[in-house]
Structure 1
């Protein structure tokens, strides 16, 4: 898909149409709440006004269902699909597959929590766990030998357009944010949100992506001026794909102010702090908050800021990884 389109393919009209598709999807995508930081028990911040987008409350527990809803709406029911995912996309993919009567396989990195593999299998899909560096090799084998159709978990036009619905929802509450902070793995969510915000006319909004230090493919892509791959390692497994997507890279180059990095310790502290405030957020979903809390985003004082908590799929087998 990515080699057939470019950033010019992503227009406001495309994103608005995708929002209609996502909102009317039989998968039950919801308009998640936005709450002021000041109305939580989170530690105070010097930004004038921070809104937190609670995508951890989304159907299937993360933003991924948005892109999946748009992908499946444009493909025939009962297909035979394969994808690669560390968990959240796989869960949404499995949920949609069951609804549409499709068969499928999720190829997962060995580092992903086992609880996520079990959950995906409960929807009737196959799961194959492999080293991160082998993900695409296994996907290609499934396409060539088993005649399966590959649905990309972040480098796909329909997916990115679906994710953009989140950005459009943000603007319904905060029409002209000064800063928007979004996690970044392969870049699908960041690209969709950034395109939605910028194409809606918010030219002065600064949009930042947040990556783990050990899985900074988009950060390195910005430096090298091309999508790069790397051997990724992070507690935030959902933000650690082996390479940045081509279409997400092009869109992020056009619309994103910059990529900032957070450590695994920053992420662990963020998960713990959010949990104490009554917000169940997984490591990948807490990256944007971690960047704000650890002062990695420049010039927030006196600004209107949006922080996206992108997912809340935190299994019992993961809770012991975080400080009390």
Structure 2
């Protein structure tokens, strides 16, 4: 994508995107929130936490929010290409089928095969390649096949669409002390953080959570520029090969910091959530893992929002999660 400044992300832009998402023919849901204390999830901190259940969202994750705004801003009958480990690809495929557009999803070889099959069921082509080759294949499709690239996390319209989640949070908890959000390329984290901060929550501390083996945003903070790495994690949806440029700029402005969780901690969170009646994929469990393992500082006595970002996990994946 071309360079887009974070200065373009204004409250008016986010409000407009929220109305677009809310009225989208794709049927985006204002997902429910539940108090942590009304679940059987363990907690060793005295605080009030509400959980935002994006695992109950249309297509099973928050990604449909950004996709709804992206497609609203583009010619619907185009020929699009994207890269995704699964959740964005599923929402992209769902929208493509709805609007009758053609599309292709370039997926990392590490993504579950079941997700490729699901995307293909919507009538889209899938090409699986090594993670390091994702952008090379996308560029080939753009140059040789005249396809339009829709970025799965580094896109202004996408981030503005994801910000609708942040605005919904504030309707339930108008002045949270802490918001905990998973982070892959940074699109969701940037959108939620922008919505919260631009809505006047100056004192709210927002934390992103990344897997230790896919910590591109964490490393970007250290190097003060977006960086890439050879990512590897059970949370494939949080393991793109590089941090987004626009998400990085927005996160630098609005996000307190990035914390890391191990694959083992993520797996344990999936298991604990499942035992509590919540079906959540590894990527969607990262924020919960951070709270369960005391990775977020200074939560005692605070009002906290924790986002469960997706529930697209197959029986085969669940069976491989240790108890």
Q: Is the 8 A contact 1:2 1:246 kept in 2?
A: no
Gap runs ≥5 in structure 2:
none
TM-score, with length taken from structure 2:
0.99
Which deviates the most, 290-299 or 43-52?
Answer: 43-52
Contact residue 164 and residue 193 of structure 1 kept, 8 A: yes
Question: 2:277 and 2:226 mapped to 1: Cα distance?
Answer: 37
- Mapping for residues 195-206 of structure 1, pairs under 5 Å: 195-206=194-205
Superposition map of 1:2-81 within 5 A: 2-3=2-3, 5-81=4-80
Residue 231 of structure 2 is matched in structure 1 by 232
Mapped partners of 1:166, 1:45: distance in 2: 27
Are 1:278 and 2:277 counterparts? yes
Structure 1 partner of 2:114? 115
How big is the shift at 1:46? 1.4
Partners of 2:226 and 2:242 within 8 A in 1: yes
Deviation at 1:323, TM superposition (A): 1.5
8 Å CA contact 1:212–1:234 kept in 2: the answer is yes
Question: Are 1:168 and 2:167 counterparts?
Answer: yes
How far the C-alpha of 1:163 sits from its partner, in A, is: 0.1
Task: Deviation per CA, 1:159-215: give whole Å up to 9, x if none.
Answer: 000000000000000000000000000000000000000000000000000000000
Q: Aligned with 2:67: secondary structure?
A: helix
Query: Which blocks of at least 5 consecutive residues in structure 1 are unaligned?
Result: none
**Residue 64 to residue 199, structure 1, CA distance change in 2 (3 Å):** same
Partner of 1:130: 129
Contact 1:2 1:155 in 2 (8 A): no
Q: Which residue does the alignment assign to 1:93? A: 92
- CA shift, 1:2, in A, is 4.6
Deviation per CA, 1:76-114, whole angstroms, max 9, x where unpaired?
121100000000000000000000000000000000000
- What is the match of residue 144 of structure 2? 145
Conserved in 1, the CA contact under 8 Å of 2:43 and 2:292? no
The CA distance in 1 between the partners of 2:318 and 2:211, in whole Å, is 19
Corresponding residue of 1:303? 302
Match of 1:313 in 2: 312
CA shift in 2, pair 1:182/1:124, >3 Å: same
1:135 CA displacement: 0.1
The worse-fitting range, judged by mean Cα deviation, of 68-77 and 40-49 is 40-49
CA contact under 8 A between 1:184 and 1:190: conserved in structure 2? yes
What SS class does the counterpart of residue 316 from structure 2 fall into? Answer: coil
- Tell me the matched-pair count: 323
- CA–CA distance in structure 2, aligned partners of residues 323 and 134 of structure 1: 31
Query: Are residue 84 (structure 1) and residue 96 (structure 2) matched?
Result: no
Q: Kindly state the Cα deviation for residue 292 of structure 1 after the two structures are TM-superposed.
A: 0.4
Written as runs of structure 1 = structure 2, the 5 A alignment for 1:167-246 is 167-246=166-245
| Misfit runs of 4+, over 3 Å | none
C-alpha contact 1:2 1:157 (8 A) present in aligned 2: no
- 1:137 alignment partner, SS class: helix
Secondary structure of residue in 2 paired with 1:208: strand
TM-score, scaled to structure 1: 0.99
- Per the TM alignment, residue 40 of structure 1 is displaced from its structure 2 partner at its CA by 0.5
Q: Matches of 1:315 and 1:75 in 2, distance apart? A: 32
Q: RMSD of the TM alignment (CA)?
A: 0.6
Per the alignment, residue 260 of structure 1 pairs with 259
- CA distance in 2: counterparts of 1:47 and 1:246, whole angstroms: 37
The superposition leaves residues 4-48 of structure 1 with CA deviations (integer Å, 9 ceiling, x where unpaired) of x11101000000000000000000000000100000111134142
Q: What's the counterpart of residue 247 of structure 1?
A: 246
Residue 104 (structure 1) aligns with: 103
Deviation at 1:229, TM superposition (A): 0.4
